Chains A and B, each alone.
Chain A
Amino acid sequence: MERAGHHTAIADFRLLLKSGEFICLVGPSGCGKTTLLNIIAGLDNDYEGDILVGRQHTHPKIGYIFQNPRLLPWRTVRENIELALDSRQSPAVIDPLLEVMQLTQSQHVYPERLSLGMSRRVSIIRAFAVDPEVLLMDEPFVSLDAPTARQVRELLLKLWQARPHTVLFVTHDLREAIALADRIIFLSAAPMSVISEITVPIPRYERHSENAIEAFRRQLINDCPEIRQLL
């Protein structure tokens, strides 16, 4: 995939997503991660290359969790989620998602009255509710304080384990990537390309332990100097 025009943001990039896989993209700021997500989402059409779903040249049905929640302030939590559903979907699909994300009580509240962490949870529900082929997440926990980020991350994992959609998750935080991903892809500065990729060997049930995550992070940095340069 390569962007046309005078500035090439992504060069010689090839990524294969397996169904139900949780992939984290880790790379320096401004390397083109958001551009990649926007291309997949169909928001950016200024590129040369192909996007394939199976063997079809088409954009996948996506759920997008942006850096800021992008909720309509004049619609309630529930209305914000319902608006994203297509006409064939029943609004009832929202109820179990609200329950998992602990927002049932706040479903008729306007976004202005929500905390930042709650707004993020609403945008996560909206993305899951559309039953996407690929979930795109662009640093969804950025600007949250550590305990809130941890809480939202755990709720996200709970939701994903119940509904294992394919996820492409952009982050700067290697600990976060290790805690969430099946596979981590390390990206170079612009023009963005893949430096290396690893499969996280820690079983998911052991990832609650900060020590296990930290030990693997250190091992990664020691073993791979190119990754150390990125962080």
Chain B
Amino acid sequence: MPALSLLAFLAVWQGLAVYLNNGTLPTPETVARVFWLACVTGQLPYNLSMTLLRLVVSFSIAMLLGCSIGIILGRNKKLDAFFDNWLVIFLNIPALVTIILCYVWFGLVESAAILAVVINKLPNVIVTIREGTRTLDQDLLEMARCYHFSKRKTLVHVIWPQLHPFVMGATRSGLALIWKIILVVELLGRSDGMGYQLHLFFQLFDVASILAYTIAFVAVIQLIELLILKPLDKKSLRWRR
């Protein structure tokens, strides 16, 4: 069924491209040819890897910080009440504003780009993990206390497995959000990466290259889902019937 659906999608695309018959929508075949050429010249792998590197670094920082802060806020009502408004403010700052401010304040450097992505993603992770922490099973936490579980043991064996669905939710929504933000970050202030290349193709009105790069990136995200996230899910939920 998924193969059939993909074939139908390609057929609709081909039909539309033939019907329009201009440069705004190239056929799948043209896009495939451009994709192959970009791969062979090494241009696509290089820019894709630069974007992926930024994605991995900013995603890791945002998840690590977000999970830690989320757990602390979820477990401490006073701190949560104090920082709640801060979270609302950061959640509502447009991504573009954060990116521009980071570039203005820290210059057009790699660290500013990473910081801008982290600031955009961090509040989402914090809120998701905080909500998860609020729903922790108090009975199990009491059991851990009365059997003198260490902090590490409580975190690894009692808290973390309960937060797993929230972490996976934050991971999935995070990946989807971060790569879109990274493209804007690269478009505005980097000289490599997918965003920079897409900006270049836009100026040249090269729709085939834009689509080829987009397909490559979506394929990579799908691979991350299939090869990392799904097996992680399966392993963590093996105790369920």
A residues neighboring B (CB under 8 Å): 41-43, 62, 64, 66, 68, 70, 72-75, 83-84, 86, 110, 112-113, 126, 130
Is B239 a contact partner of A74 (Cβ separation < 8 A)?
yes
8 Å CB contact of B239 from A86, A112, A130: A112
Closest beta carbon of chain B to A119's beta carbon, Å: 13
Is B239 a contact partner of A42 (Cβ separation < 8 A)?
no
8 Å CB contact of A72 from B148, B161, B241: B161
Q: Which 5 interchain pairs have the tightest Cβ spacing?
A: A84-B147, A70-B143, A110-B239, A74-B161, A74-B239
**Majority SS at the chain B contact face:** helix
Q: How far is the CA of A191 from the CA of B148 in the complex (A)?
A: 30
**Majority SS at the chain A contact face:** loop
Interface membership of B240, Cβ < 8 A: yes
What are 12 pairs between A and B in contact, CB < 8 Å? A43-B145, A66-B143, A68-B139, A70-B142, A72-B157, A72-B158, A72-B161, A74-B239, A75-B239, A84-B147, A110-B239, A112-B241
Is A42 a contact partner of B241 (Cβ separation < 8 A)?
no
Is A86 a contact partner of B148 (Cβ separation < 8 A)?
yes
Q: How far is the CA of A75 from the CA of B162 in the complex (A)?
A: 12
Interface size of B in residues (CB-CB distance below 8 Å) = 17
> In the complex where A41-B146, A42-B146, A113-B241 touch, is A70 in contact with B153 (Cβ < 8 A)?
no
Residue-by-residue, is B114-151 near A (CB-CB < 8 Å gives 1, otherwise 0)? 00000000000000000000000001101101111100
Q: Chain B: which residue is nearest A130 at the CB level? A: B147
| Residues of chain A within 8 A of B158, CB atoms compared | 72
Q: How far is the CA of A112 from the CA of B140 in the complex (A)?
A: 15
| Residues of chain A within 8 A of B149, CB atoms compared | 83
| Residues of chain B within 8 A of A64, CB atoms compared | 143, 146-147
| Residues of chain B within 8 A of A75, CB atoms compared | 157, 239
Among B145, B146, B161, B241, max chain A CB count under 10 A is at B146
Closest beta carbon of chain A to B233's beta carbon, Å: 13
Closest beta carbon of chain B to A123's beta carbon, Å: 9
8 Å CB contact of B145 from A42, A66, A126: A42
Is B139 a contact partner of A83 (Cβ separation < 8 A)?
no
Is A73 a contact partner of B239 (Cβ separation < 8 A)?
yes
Q: Chain A: which residue is nearest B241 at the CB level? A: A112
Is B139 a contact partner of A66 (Cβ separation < 8 A)?
yes
Closest beta carbon of chain A to B180's beta carbon, Å: 33
Q: Chain A: which residue is nearest B162 at the CB level? A: A74
Q: How far is the CA of A100 from the CA of B239 in the complex (A)?
A: 26
Task: Given contacts A43-B142, A74-B239, list 10 more A-B pairs with CB under 8 A.
Answer: A42-B145, A42-B146, A62-B146, A64-B147, A73-B239, A84-B147, A112-B240, A112-B241, A113-B241, A130-B147
Q: How far is the CA of A73 from the CA of B139 in the complex (A)?
A: 13
Q: How far is the CA of A130 from the CA of B148 in the complex (A)?
A: 10
| Residues of chain B within 8 A of A84, CB atoms compared | 147
| Residues of chain B in range 77-95 having any CB-CB distance to chain A below 8 Å | none
| Residues of chain B in range 56-76 having any CB-CB distance to chain A below 8 Å | none
Closest beta carbon of chain A to B148's beta carbon, Å: 7
| Residues of chain B within 8 A of A41, CB atoms compared | 146
Q: How far is the CA of A64 from the CA of B148 in the complex (A)?
A: 12
Closest beta carbon of chain A to B104's beta carbon, Å: 47
Q: How far is the CA of A72 from the CA of B157 in the complex (A)?
A: 8
Residue-by-residue, is B202-241 near A (CB-CB < 8 Å gives 1, otherwise 0)? 0000000000000000000000000000000000100111
| Residues of chain A within 8 A of B142, CB atoms compared | 43, 66, 70
Q: Chain B: which residue is nearest A136 at the CB level? A: B146
Residue-by-residue, is B146-182 near A (CB-CB < 8 Å gives 1, otherwise 0)? 1111000100011001000000000000000000000
